[in-house]
Amino acid sequence: MTRLQRTVSIVCASSALAALAPLIPAPQVKAAQTIYNTSMPAVIRVAIRENNPSGEPDPRGRIMYVEAVPFTTYCEDVLPNEWFPSWHPEALKAGAMAVKMFAWYHHLHPVTIDGFTFDVDNTTNFQHFQEMSSQPTTNAAFQAIQKLAYTKPNGEIVELNYSAGYENDPNWQYRNAQKMAQWGSEYWARRGQTYLQILQFYYQNRALMRLP
Amino acid sequence: MKRYPSKRSVIVASLVASAVAMAIPTQPQMGAFHHVHVHALHGAVAAMAPAAIEPVEQRADTRPDAAQQPNPASKPTPRARDAGRQKLAPAKPPARPNKDAGKPKAKDAGKPKASSGSANAGQTKPNAASGTAPTTPKPSPPTVPGEQSNDQPAGPESWGYTRKTAKLRIRVIDGRTKEPIQGAEVVLIETEQRFKTDAQGYTPWFDAPVIRNPKYRPMVAELHGQLGAIAYKDGYRDSIHLGIRVHEGIRQQTTIWMYKLGPADRRIEPVLYQEPYHHLWLIQLADKFRSHSQPGEGPERP
């Protein structure tokens, strides 16, 4: 093969590759979102949905507006509406951690619905948020876990999901589903478990981290 | 020629081998964590804790008889109890999970026991199914930590836990500006108590009754009491706030939003805000009456 032929073949090959380039997916560098490369959100965008006729935010209601709420305030105004403020302090701490990590995860994964871009809404689609509903006991639980996060062992932020569960029951089926049972957290707390043990019971392969 | 290594070389080799073996970390991940607390918590168990961990209310218990409780070894551990229950519990949710929902433990602390005839009157039953059978021999009823006596708060007082009564304070704000309103008069409807708000818009802390709607008592007792309050302030519409959730044994607060009267206001009437029931109770209520023929959204499940 002469030098000319070689040059021509190289040019042809490179042009063919260049033509194919748009078809080949570009390599994406996706780093996991961890507590080391993201900071705890300062503000979270909350979509306020229309109330139903009885005055409750309707999970299927129209989105009226999106409100920017300080992250801590948001968490404090969610916890009393999700957990009972009279529950055991350890159950409240477990709940505070779940509420916080759920909100943090969704802050990193915003959605756009009906032209509104937001992180969470104020209904049980995400977490039940009611403005100015914080209570002293639930606020204290937040203070206790403020500098901590419950993530994958490499620090990756994952959604800590939870659901009501059954009263006076360990709620093993929720553990199988990797969800915390709210009644289950109270059950274990009343039996002397700490919030970390409750979290470890319901969420496996997770670690408690101190925020950098 | 020696066919076997000498005694000295065997000893030296075994010492070296044991030193190498001891140098191998048993938990290789430990090196990856730099935080001390993670270090301490690593391997802290995905399982349950031993029964030796005392709950807050027992730690606070300084009565002399508290020290005379049977040692943890003699009473069933949570793990053992749960193992027993786990065998009984089906994989799917039980058909009537809210059988004893009418007696929430935390709420029972403050109210008188209607059925105090049994020997275990001071303790709520961990499970209605097991607790209702008087034939079950229980020579030493296990002291379940959650079953606190009436005069023990569920948590530290610095966190807002109190004894027996519910402490409540009400904050009054301007609904438009969200600024606190000073000098508003707040009336608690049930007790006819009157309070004035301070510069921060707060009334003082007061003892609030925990009143549950008796019509639900035979079915699913409300998990929190409800109160009503009215706020009056010159230049503002009257605000009626109903359904304020009240739990025994903690401090609580609520906010009343008031709206200023303007020149365009022709028909001036009170503003009502009805605080909703807690949705955990609504889930219990709906589950209570669910039938097999028309299960609707189905029982609560993960």
Which DSSP string do the residues of B3-61 spell out, in sequence order?
Answer: SS--HHHHHHHHHHHHHHHHHS-SSGGGGG---HHHHHHTT--SSPPPTTPPPHHHHT-
d(CA A130, CA A57): 9
Q: Cα distance from B302 to chain A (closest Cα, Å)?
A: 5
Of B49, B106, B300, the CB nearest to A193: B49
Contact A182 B280 (CB under 8 A): yes
Domain boundaries, position A95: 28-210
> Could you say which of B37, B247, B280 has the minimum Cβ distance to residue A210?
B37
In a domain, B87, yes or no: no
Please name the helix (run of DSSP H) or strand (run of DSSP E) that holds residue A121, with its range, or none.
Answer: strand A120-121
Whether residues A201 and B48 touch (CB distance < 8 A) is answered with: yes
Strand partners, B241: B229, B273
Q: State the pLDDT at residue B160.
A: 77
Region B138-154 average pLDDT: 50
Chain A, nearest residue to B40 by Cα: A208
Write out pLDDT tens, residues B74-116: 343 334 334 333 333 333 433 343 434 333 333 333 333 333 3
pLDDT at A27: 65
Asked whether residue B67 is domain-assigned, the answer is no
Query: Which residues of chain A are within 8 Å of residue B160 when distances are taken between CB atoms?
Result: 135-137, 140
DSSP annotation of B214 reads G
Buried b (16+ CB within 10 A) or exposed e, B1-18: eeeeeeeeeeeeeeeeee
Nearest residue in B to A123, CA atom? B279
Banded pLDDT at B139 (limits 50, 70, 90): very low
Between the alpha carbon of residue B152 and those of residues B146, B157, B233, the distances in Å are 11, 10, 39
Average pLDDT over residues B160-182: 90
- CB nearest to B250's CB, from A86, A163, A179: A86
Lowest mean pLDDT across A37-51, B37-51, B140-154, B244-258: B37-51
- Find the residue in A nearest to B172 (Cα): A132
Chain A residues within 8 A of B282 when measuring between CB atoms: none
Shortest CA gap B191–chain A (Å)? 22
Q: Which residue has the higher pLDDT, B12 or B54?
A: B12
Dmax (CA) for chain B in angstroms is 120
pLDDT of the residue at A26: 66
Q: Are A131 and A106 in contact (CB under 8 A)?
A: no
pLDDT given for residue B77 in this prediction: 39
A8 within domain boundaries: no
Cα–Cα separations (whole angstroms), residue B215 to A117, B220, B241: 44, 9, 21
Residue type, B16: V
Q: Cα(B207)–Cα(A186) distance, rounded to whole angstroms?
A: 26
User: How many domains does chain A fold into?
Assistant: 1
- C-alpha atoms less than 13 angstroms from C-alpha of B142 in its C-beta half-sphere: 18
Domain count across chain B? 2
Q: Does A211 touch chain B (CB under 8 A)?
A: no
> Does a structural domain hold residue B50?
no
**A202 contacts chain B (CB < 8 A):** no
On the question of pLDDT at B186 being above 90, the answer is yes
pLDDT of residue A22: 64
Say what percent of chain B tops pLDDT 90.
Answer: 37
Interchain CB distance below 8 Å, A168 and B280: no
Determine what percent of chain A is predicted with pLDDT higher than 70.
92
Q: Which spans in A21-123 are helix H?
A: 71-82, 89-108
Among B59-68, B165-174, B251-260, the least confident range: B59-68
Residue B92 included in any domain: no
For A:10-49, CB contacts with B below 8 A are none
- Is residue B299's pLDDT more than 90? no
Q: Is A53 on the interface with B (CB under 8 A)?
A: no
pLDDT tens figures, A65-98? 999 999 999 999 999 999 999 999 999 999 999 9
**What per-residue confidence (pLDDT) applies to B215?**
82
Report pLDDT for B121: 35
Q: Number of residue pairs across A and B with CB atoms under 8 Å? A: 169
Mean pLDDT of B49-55: 39
Question: Closest Cα of chain B to A125: distance in Å?
Answer: 13
Residue B203 lies in a domain: yes
Supply the pLDDT for residue B168: 96
Domain span including residue B30: 7-41
Is the pLDDT at B6 greater than 70, yes or no?
yes
Residue in A closest to B30 by C-alpha: A153
Question: In this complex, do B155 and A197 lie within 8 Å of one another by their Cβ atoms?
Answer: no
Paired tokens of A108: 């990193």
Sign of CA dihedral A180, A186, A187, A189: positive
Instruction: Give the gap in angstroms from C-alpha B299 to the nearest C-alpha of chain A.
Output: 10
In a domain, A86, yes or no: yes
Q: What is the pLDDT of residue A156?
A: 96
Per-residue pLDDT reduced to its tens digit, B190-217: 999 999 999 999 999 999 999 888 888 7
pLDDT at A34 over 70: yes
In tens, the pLDDT along A135-165 reads 999 999 999 999 999 999 999 999 999 999 9
CA–CA separation, A114 and B194 (whole Å): 46
pLDDT at B133: 35
By the CB < 8 Å criterion, does A84 face chain B?
A: yes
**Nearest-CA distance B55 → chain A (Å):** 4
Coil, strand or helix at A47: strand
On whether residue B53 sits in a domain, the answer given is no
Contact state of A208 with B160 under an 8 Å Cβ cutoff: no
Q: Which of A140, A141, A191 sits opposite B145 (nearest CB)?
A: A191
How confident is residue A12, by pLDDT bands cut at 50, 70 and 90? low
Interface test with B, best of A86, A139, A171, A195 (most B CBs within 10 A): A86
Q: What is the pLDDT of residue A98?
A: 98
pLDDT category at B51 given cuts 50, 70, 90 is very low
Are the CB atoms for A212 and B37 separated by under 8 Å?
no
Going along B180-291, which residue ranges are E strands?
Answer: 185-188, 193-196, 206-208, 225-232, 239-246, 251-258, 271-274
Tell me the angle at which helices A136-145 and A71-82 cross, rounded to the nearest 10 degrees: 120
Spatial separation of the C-alpha atoms in residues A37 and A30, rounded to whole Å: 12
Q: Which two tokens stand for residue B161?
A: 């836990």
HEC-encoded secondary structure of A152-207: CCCCECCCCCEECCCCCCCCHHHHHCCCEEHHHHHHHHHCCCCHHHHHHHHCCCCE
Distance CA B112, CA B102 (A): 14
Q: What is the pLDDT of residues A92-116, one digit of tens each?
A: 999 999 999 999 999 999 999 999 9
Per-residue model confidence (pLDDT) at position A166: 95
The pLDDT of residue B4 is 80
- Nearest C-alpha in A relative to B157: A137
Task: Please give the mean pLDDT across all residues of chain A.
Answer: 92
Structure tokens at A68: 């920017």
Question: What pLDDT was estimated at residue B165?
Answer: 77
pLDDT of residue B156: 81
Measuring CA to CA, which residue among B171, B183, B177 is closest to residue B259? B177
pLDDT at residue A23 in the model: 67
**Taking a contact as any Cβ pair under 8 Å apart, which residues of chain A between 142 and 171 contact chain B?**
153, 163-170
Establish if A79 belongs to a structural domain.
Answer: yes
